[in-house]
Amino acid sequence: GDSVTQMEGPVTLSEEAFLTINCTYTATGYPSLFWYVQYPGEGLQLLLKATKADDKGSNKGFEATYRKETTSFHLEKGSVQVSDSAVYFCALISMNYGGSQGNLIFGKGTKLSVKP
Amino acid sequence: EPEVTQTPSHQVTQMGQEVILRCVPISNHLYFYWYRQILGQKVEFLVSFYNNEISEKSEIFDDQFSVERPDGSNFTLKIRSTKLEDSAMYFCASRYSSNQPQHFGDGTRLSIL
């Protein structure tokens, strides 16, 4: 079935470092791809999305490009801040499994800690 | 900005007891979802609800689970006879239409003793 694989955490970086969190997916067809973020004590918030190949989603300095050839959607940020410390989830909407209803399939999440 | 709200934030229940988790989706949203996250594991889809009926459900959503939208504002998840392995964080989500993203609540942490 459809699935999402993220790099294992935790990831610890110094402020202003470059961030990459890898995400690859397995899906039939062309799923929509998402990054969600969960700050401590809060729910899941949509960070960015891409709905077709070569689309680039961006928000708050984060970017991810939908790469069909490598089935990837890696999250990047050029200069992280302490306030970016959170858990990041890669997800897709499976077009086979209730795609019309928009059910999300998530990766395991990657915890990011940014030190001052 | 409108939010999805979930209550309680933490629920502790004895094994075998029934539990009801409550969610108030954003008021004009039409699609509703429950997900769960066992500690250290993935966020997993449980069920979606549209037009007053279940539209999709996962293998996890067996006969001990049920959902209701009793009054046009609340969206509840009931677990009839809880098991230890039901301990998890349960997230409710809603969205307005199929091309809009899902909005999530802060979750209910369910602990089964």
Phi-psi region of B66 (alpha: psi -120 to 50; beta: other; left: phi over 0): beta
Tokens representing A9 are 């955490």
| B105 closest CB neighbour out of A43, A101, A109 | A43
pLDDT confidence band for A98 (50 / 70 / 90) = very low
Nearest CA in chain B to A10: B40
What is the overall mean pLDDT for chain A? 91
pLDDT single digits (tens) A21-30 = 999 999 887 8
DSSP B21-57: EEEE--TT--EEEEEEE-TTS-EEEEEEEETTEEEEE
Partner A, chain B 15-74, Cβ-Cβ below 8 Å: 31, 33, 35, 41-45, 48, 50, 55-56
Predicted confidence (pLDDT) at residue A49 exceeds the cutoff of 50 = yes
Q: Tens-digit pLDDT profile for chain B (113 aa)? A: 779 999 999 999 999 999 999 999 999 899 999 999 998 788 999 999 998 999 989 999 999 999 999 887 899 999 999 999 999 999 999 998 876 788 999 999 999 99
